[in-house]
Amino acid sequence: MIKKLKEQLTTMHQKNMQVSEVFRYIGPGIIVTVGFIDPGNWAANLAAGASFGYNLLWVVTLSTIMLILLQHNVAHLGIVTGRCLSECTYQFLPRWLSRILLSTAGIAAAATALAEFIGAAIALKMLFHIPLLWGSILTALVCTGMLVTNSYSKLEKIIAGFVSLIALAYLAELSMVHIDWPLAGRSWVSPTLPNESMLVVLSILGAVIMPHNLFLHSEIIQSRQFNKQDPAIMRKQLRYEFMDTIFSMGIGWAINSAMILLAAATFFVEGIEVTELEQAQELLVPLIGPSAGVIFAIALLFAGFASSATAGMAGASIFAGMFGESYDMKDLHSRVGLALTYVPALVLIMFIQDSFKALLVSQMFLSLQLPITIFLQLYLTGSSSVMGVYKNRKSTSIMLWSIGIIVTVMNIYLLCVA
């Protein structure tokens, strides 16, 4: 009897140790999730819910699945090689070609920063009536301070805190409105295409997979130290990373879904079309009370700060990789990369008259660059000279290349109709 009890206690202890070990690997995916809930996603999701109710929730599910597969694949690259996507490009491609490809990725990171600055600045304007330019500069200064003065582990906790607060804000918002949960449940898994919804569908899909996030994930996954020479440890690392990605992207799925649910339960039932973030905040106040508008703006501010920080990290990682170096804010190349990401974005904002149009232009450039990053990633992860025995299996390659082609066609279409 006592022996059996000891065995049960030992088994329970081992399971608890496994659970705690898994949670030690949670973190890189959370940082990547920030790009999945940035101001661009807010605009697309609010437009979807306001115009089509619950009908487009399935797009969030589909885009999340595609994102999980691509992000896991690029994290796989970082784990196996011990290098980020930028460093691998530098090492395994001709130098002239790597510089061209990585330069386009760096410009994409700056375009992303421009959109994130504008999103945070809009929130600051909502809350404190700060002009757009000064709000953007304040955001850049705050994020630069976060990146330069904090270690990665501290930054990870800060961004995880931002994501948690965004999630709590939307829980609070949803508690103030009536949600048709049975209809929402069916809409998450039942694809429908209401009339004139195609552009919004593509906008949601296009706002999810972003080039800077693919570079970033391959870099930050290396914050988890492990022994690459031990196959058992490698398998465990790959397994735990996949769990981190699924868990983190699941949080992103929930927050994006909450945006559509909120818009469906407020704007759609009132027949109100929403095209701008400021308009959404102003309209929430008469519909569900003044606190709703404040909560909305605070959540947008956290999303803007967090996504601006990750855009800076990605830009620094890309530039450092152009010289075969890892991201390290104590290193000159990483700091120059951060400056090249933030400064051009701020300069462009000085000349912006229409913030909504600026967001569209930045997304258009991302649409051009994204296929380059995806196919670069798939080339590297499918190469035995890069990945060895861990290269993509044939079935995995077919699936990933199919996703890459779909995303490319989708982005070209969006570019043509924008």
d(CA 418, CA 414): 6
Q: Do 118 and 355 touch, CB atoms closer than 8 A?
A: yes
Q: Do 310 and 160 touch, CB atoms closer than 8 A?
A: no
Q: Is the sign of the CA dihedral 209, 213, 215, 217 positive or negative?
A: negative
Give the closest residue to 346 by CA, choosing from 38, 132, 36. 132
Q: Do 338 and 129 touch, CB atoms closer than 8 A?
A: no
Tell me, what's the pLDDT at 230?
A: 67
Tell me, what's the pLDDT at 294?
A: 92
Q: Do 122 and 43 touch, CB atoms closer than 8 A?
A: no
Residue 47: what are its φ and ψ, rounded to 5°? -65, -40
271 residue type, one letter: G
Tell me, what's the pLDDT at 229?
A: 62
* CATH number for the domain formed by residue range(s) 32-417: 1.20.1740.10
| pTM of the predicted model as reported, rounded to 2 decimal places | 0.89
Two structure tokens written together for 159: 């961004």
Q: Do 77 and 377 touch, CB atoms closer than 8 A?
A: yes
Two structure tokens written together for 256: 């994006």
DSSP output for 297-354: HHHHHHHHHHHHHHHHHHHHHHHHHTTT----TTSHHHHHHHHHHHHHHHHHHTT-S-
d(CA 88, CA 376): 10
Q: Which residues in the chain come in under a pLDDT of 70? A: 1-25, 223-230, 356, 360, 415, 417-418
Burial class (CB in 10 A: 0-12, 13-18, 19+), 417: exposed
Two structure tokens written together for 282: 């102003």
Hey, which bits of 131-249 come out as E strands? none
d(CA 195, CA 198): 8
d(CA 242, CA 253): 16
- Cα 186 → chain centroid: 26
d(CA 361, CA 418): 9
Residue ranges of domains in the chain: 32-417
Task: For residue range 13-32, list pLDDT tens digits in order.
Answer: 344 444 455 556 677 888 99
